[in-house]
Amino acid sequence: MMAKKGPPRGFIKGEVLCGVSMAEYTSFRVGGPVDFLAFPADLEDLRAILRWSHDGGVPCFILGKGTNLLVRDGGIRGLAISLSRGFQRLVVSEESAGKCALVAEAGESLARVVDFSWRNNLHGLEFAAGIPGSVGGGIFMNAGAFRREMKDVVASISLMNSLGRVSEKKIAETAFTYRSMGIQKGEIILGGRFLLQKGKGEEIRARIEEIRRARSAKQPYDLPSAGSVFKNPEIAPAGKLIEEAGLKGVRIGDAQVSEKHANFIVNLGNATARDILELAAQVRERVQQEKGILLEMEIQVTGEN
């Protein structure tokens, strides 16, 4: 059942949509409808949306760019918030000899931040080349690749709590772990302050392109997916364990374990969230049976069956 009546028209500068399919807003291209999807234009909008959610008892969910997310077929009851239309500011300031701070707001894509960094002769974000999603999502998940993570370059995080209060938290004050920055429930990431090294733009760009080519050669970017399905256990990469269990190419409906990278489940065209979840469960069971390792989901799962 849909949540209460939506917010009044024009109560924010941004847009609020009603009953839209989450398949349109997630990289898996699956998922049922969300009651309300809001695109705040600024902090004032975001505070107003949170206040409406709180006063009406409407559950609230931060969407990001939907690249590490699986929404179940029943959709999301309540409110989803996307910062992708208003929180995209990028600012560089000099910190000290050889170092600069890049302040990036949460709604900006990681791809654009990586591009912005080399154009401003800043070194340190090359590892993020090819990682899909937004700045906020990347920080929230402590995204990483090539033995580097967000925690290695993020100096501080700007947050808003459920009451609309904004604060700055140093990275050392967060409980970051592998694929988690330890953000408290109810806190919304507004952006991050990245501490980067000065370098030569063209050399940085060359390294970025090298990393992008390496990722493209190994990962199935030609089909809808949500990136790595499972976290890598310490013993071996999840993709290696899945491949050794003979699961490459296995499918349920139009959900398939990628033939290119076994830690990806791809949507061949008409997969449902149920197909994807059943396939992920089958993969976990087989790997546990054959390897004695219980894989842990990396993608976020939300919504109703």
> Which residues are annotated as catalytic?
179, 228, 298
Q: Which residues contact 184 (CB under 8 A, 6 or more apart)?
A: none
**Is the CB of residue 274 less than 8 Å from the CB of residue 252?**
no
φ/ψ of 197, rounded to 5, equals: -95, 145
**Is the CB of residue 78 less than 8 Å from the CB of residue 60?**
yes
Separation CA 302–CA 119 (nearest Å):
37
Amino acid at 61: F
End-to-end alpha carbon distance in the chain: 12
Separation CA 291–CA 288 (nearest Å):
5
145, two tokens: 């690749």
φ/ψ of 92, rounded to 5, equals: -110, 135
